[in-house]
Amino acid sequence: MEGETQFPACQKCDAGLLIPLSDYGREGAPIRYKAWVCSNPECGFNIRIDNGEITFGRAIGQSYK
C-alpha cells in the first residue's frame, strides 16, 4: 500500500517489529527516534540513546514522571 510505513523486523525474536519512540530533551527540544522497541511483548528487546551513549536490552517499564 502506498505511503505505508514499514518498520524493521526484530533481529532478536524475528516475530516482532522494531517500533521507534521519540522523547523530549531537558530543554524541551524533541528527540526523534530516541529508542526502538520490539512490538512483541514476550521479547522486550530495546535499543536507546541516553546522553549520547547507546544502550540495549535494558528492562523497560512505565515511567511515573
Strand partners, 53: 50
Secondary structure (H, E, C), 9-51? ECCCCCCCEEEEEEEECCCCCEEEEEEEEECCCCCCCEEEEEC
Which pTM was predicted?
0.72
How do residues 30-63 score in pLDDT, each as one tens digit? 888 889 999 999 998 999 888 888 888 766 666 6
How do residues 18-33 score in pLDDT, each as one tens digit? 999 988 888 888 888 8
Instruction: Tell me phi and psi for residue 40, to 5 degrees.
Output: -85, 110
